[in-house]
Amino acid sequence: MTRPNSNRRGAVLIEATLVVMTFLVMCIGILDLGQFLYRQESLAERVRAVSRTAVVRNYTTNQVVNAIVYNDPASTSTGPGFLGLTRSNVTAAIFDPALNEKRLVVTVQNLSFQTFTPFLPRKMGTIPVRISIPLETP
């Protein structure tokens, strides 16, 4: 007994739909992962570079925050900066532990971004970045 062709065509259509949907979700997921990795690495590199520059040039903590957010230590801007950072996302402090070594500690946290994947939350956050560098003594 043979089946009619119309049943086979319907099965092929359903299989193709399932394969295409799976492929699209995987591609969009790869885009989200790439976006997350790009933002995380860009942010870590920006904080590292500014922290090293701040130690050498003796920036104040306000100048460090401005340099990370706006790429200008003397900036007076108030809006979002690099990757949507605001001044409230960045903290900079100078610590003097018992070892008599002053350190600049910079932390960036609570930065979120939009995702494309329909199965993930629409906004996801980056992993907090914390850099600690000893201060140069003149």
**Per-residue pLDDT reduced to its tens digit, 32-51:** 889 889 989 999 999 999 99
- Per-residue pLDDT at 5: 61
Q: Kindly report the pTM of this predicted structure.
A: 0.77
* Annotated domain spans of the chain: 5-134
Report yes or no: 102 and 134 within 8 Å, Cβ to Cβ.
yes
Mean pLDDT of 57-71: 92
Higher pLDDT, 121 or 91: 91
- Per-residue pLDDT at 107: 93
Report yes or no: 32 and 115 within 8 Å, Cβ to Cβ.
yes
The alpha carbon dihedral of 98, 62, 71, 128 has a sign of positive
**Residue 70 φ then ψ, to 5°:** -115, 0
Please work out, in degrees rounded to the nearest 5, the angle formed at the alpha carbon of residue 130 by the alpha carbons of 123 and 121: 10
- Structure tokens given for 129: 């970045």
